[in-house]
Chain A
């Protein structure tokens, strides 16, 4: 790739202000059990690439599957970029050229594991779900592995090759009693070897037993509650509700939004610390360099309750007069890098779980997550499992727990931060601007939040 890229860049040296080329080669295997049956087992190979060109502040972008005429693609990207007239020129923050080739060694490389071994293992998990209880109606066990190599070069002299392995397994159990149908899911994602897939039978078991338990749960009564979020839901909350607002592309062209997200503003109590860090080795959101070739690092978003930083691409950094943070990420070769989170978490506080519970007369303990969404200040997410808290004790299970609210008030309403941080690596991912699912990880200790609106009948 390097020669092809360098030749194409060299021959377009005098065109455009900045040009970058990315390519991706990947192989994907998917195995899907549904109910008693193997639903799907398939394989795909993809090769694709893109060119992004900056001409007098306008961006042109072209993605493709055929590399036959890379120089022509560069010319096309420059041509569409030139159609964009700008009053105000977008520039890029400085980033030193890097030449590096990063290979990954896996403890049990899934590319060497036979299709039969993968299938047998997933079949085993599927059986665990299906046979766990007579009320289990159906299941979904979805396994995916993907080995990608990303090639990057730009007109500033960078050339980076990064290998990115990814594998995931998702378990869904469907329980049914008459017309009452309940579902529960568990998943695992990883950038490491196949070995991790061999020790997750407990997850399959948990999905099944939780689905059965939900059959007995009553729908939660809607209203305002003090809520305790477990590590998963706490992580989802901080990612969805707060993390997305820290992405500078939301802010840099919008005066009012950047006013709301002014550094130094109080966002929570002094025990609240929020971090995004793409440089932690081998988590789902990790990489040594982001998709603009910028080195990733640890970025504090909230420090001691005060807004301390945000996430940048090279373009947003220069706009806001800040440093790039290594957060420009693209889902795949079809997309441009945009500002994304990597591994986002709330740092540990010092309150043990029991102390968080104490003093709550009537509240909700919300665990795990079905899904979440945010639009600027408003967020909503569904708990995978919920319990009433009565007089400081966890009481009966409830279902259909959907939490919703305004981010700013909710962050200020965090009144307790636990001491049991856990990073969550699930098989799902994050969605933004049509780029979904991008692998990320998130985490949190248990969080206690007052005055949360819970939807219900």
Chain B
């Protein structure tokens, strides 16, 4: 790689190479039986150059073709954005508390396909023990990746990383009614508990057996951790340094202003052991750290990559992430952690005379996210009557504006859960939300 970089620097001011090599193996079960085993090997590199002060970028898979890559990177630099940064020099983690971040587990890397098959079979067995008529789709996945980074200012790092994920979809069809329940667990470490998954699914199946009617109107709602993104997605997108810089975000002049309930505190943190978004450095060589985004309802920070930070005249927060080798780094969230509250999910339910629990929605991220507006079909939700789960709701939509609704948090759950291996959310209990139901 160093040789390639030298070659590049004969033509440009400075250059950076980012290389990824990975192997992913999902074992897929469909309709209760093993359907396929896939192996996905990938390899590629991305070249970013600064040429006459402008950024150029190209990427390629395969071993050869560096010359073409360099030629294209130079060609794109002719029109590229003016670089407002230079590549970082020597890289080492300075955070004393968290020098080493665990992201590689040998046991995960060595997990055999046979073992993965057994885990999947075990999950299906347990779900089917509950109800033989269910359709169950399961994926057991492992991933191993190697990242290598090098730039012409001497900056370099490399690391390897593992991921293990179990995901389950249980489906029950009766006449024209279909109940679908998704659940998944992800970790960098081979420590997942399949029982946790199956017991969650079985609890949902029990709650969902009976269908109950809901009247349209405003009512209290509880978002489970799985559904919390409905409320948080637009906030995350509004705190993106790029959205701020371009003044697209409604939070552009809201830093250090109190916008939401005192209960609301969350941060981006790429240093948590075995969380999927963790790494020693972001994808352009800046140390990953914990960045408080919202504290007690007040916006504390926006998140940045190098280029956006340079343009905004601030420091990168170590949030320069790439969505694959074809993409340049942009501001992104490594892991997002929301602080827990004090109330248990059970107590929340008890507190509600009439309301709904929202567990899965359709249309997440659809519509005008940045404005905060959301409108979703409740794909899986339960009605609460007199402090108890009464049954499942159907043909119900929720709508609101996340920026407004988060002002009225009644309580946060006392047991946050990982979602997709990179978000950690508690239950969120809102005093009131618009619910529309089919007459």
Chain A residues within an 8 Å CB radius of B398:
455
- Convert A387-424 into 0s and 1s, putting 1 for each residue whose CB lies closer than 8 angstroms to a CB of B: 00000000000011010111010000000000000000
Chain B residues within an 8 Å CB radius of A199:
none
In B365-413, the 8 Å CB interface with A consists of: 365-368, 370-371, 373, 375-377, 379, 395, 397-401
The majority secondary structure among interface residues of chain A is strand
* CB < 8 Å neighbour of B368 from A28, A63, A181, A376: A181
Interface segment among A36-44, A160-168, A439-447: the answer is A36-44
| Contact (Cβ within 8 A) B76 A455 | no
- Convert A347-386 into 0s and 1s, putting 1 for each residue whose CB lies closer than 8 angstroms to a CB of B: 0000000000000000000000011111111111110000
Q: How far is the CB of A163 from chain B (nearest CB, A)?
A: 19
- Convert A155-190 into 0s and 1s, putting 1 for each residue whose CB lies closer than 8 angstroms to a CB of B: 000000000000000000010100111110000000
Cα–Cα distance between A119 and B328 once the two chains are bound (Å): 18
Q: A256-B173, A373-B363, A451-B438 are in contact. List 18 more A-B contacts (CB 8 A).
A: A28-B326, A38-B79, A38-B80, A43-B59, A45-B59, A45-B69, A46-B44, A77-B39, A83-B37, A84-B36, A138-B246, A182-B371, A224-B438, A336-B36, A371-B367, A376-B171, A402-B376, A457-B434
| Contact (Cβ within 8 A) B436 A456 | yes
5 smallest CB-CB distances across A and B, nearest first, come from A455-B397, A222-B436, A402-B375, A256-B173, A43-B72
Chain A residues within an 8 Å CB radius of B192:
none
Cα–Cα distance between A382 and B65 once the two chains are bound (Å): 43
Count of inter-chain pairs, beta carbons less than 8 A:
244
Cα–Cα distance between A299 and B56 once the two chains are bound (Å): 46
In B42-86, the 8 Å CB interface with A consists of: 42-44, 56-63, 65, 68-69, 72-73, 75-76, 78-81
Chain A residues within an 8 Å CB radius of B377:
378-380, 402, 404, 455
Which residues from chain A sit less than 8 Å from chain B, CB to CB? 28, 34-35, 37-48, 58-66, 76-77, 80-81, 83-87, 115-116, 119, 137-138, 174, 176, 179-183, 219, 222-224, 253-254, 256-257, 260, 334, 336, 370-382, 399-400, 402, 404-406, 408, 451, 453-457
Chain B residues within an 8 Å CB radius of A87:
33
Chain A residues within an 8 Å CB radius of B59:
42-45
Cα–Cα distance between A378 and B439 once the two chains are bound (Å): 16
Cα–Cα distance between A455 and B363 once the two chains are bound (Å): 12
Chain A residues within an 8 Å CB radius of B438:
224, 405, 451, 453
Sample (20) of A-B pairs whose CB atoms are under 8 Å apart: A38-B81, A40-B57, A42-B76, A43-B76, A45-B59, A45-B65, A48-B61, A63-B42, A65-B41, A65-B43, A66-B62, A76-B39, A116-B79, A137-B246, A174-B370, A256-B174, A371-B363, A376-B171, A402-B399, A455-B377
Asked if B91 is at the interface of the complex by the 8 Å CB criterion, the answer is no
| Contact (Cβ within 8 A) B178 A42 | no
Which residues from chain B sit less than 8 Å from chain A, CB to CB? 30-31, 33-44, 56-63, 65, 68-69, 72-73, 75-76, 78-81, 113-114, 117, 135, 171, 173-174, 176-178, 180, 216, 246-248, 250, 325-326, 328, 362-363, 365-368, 370-371, 373, 375-377, 379, 395, 397-401, 434, 436-439
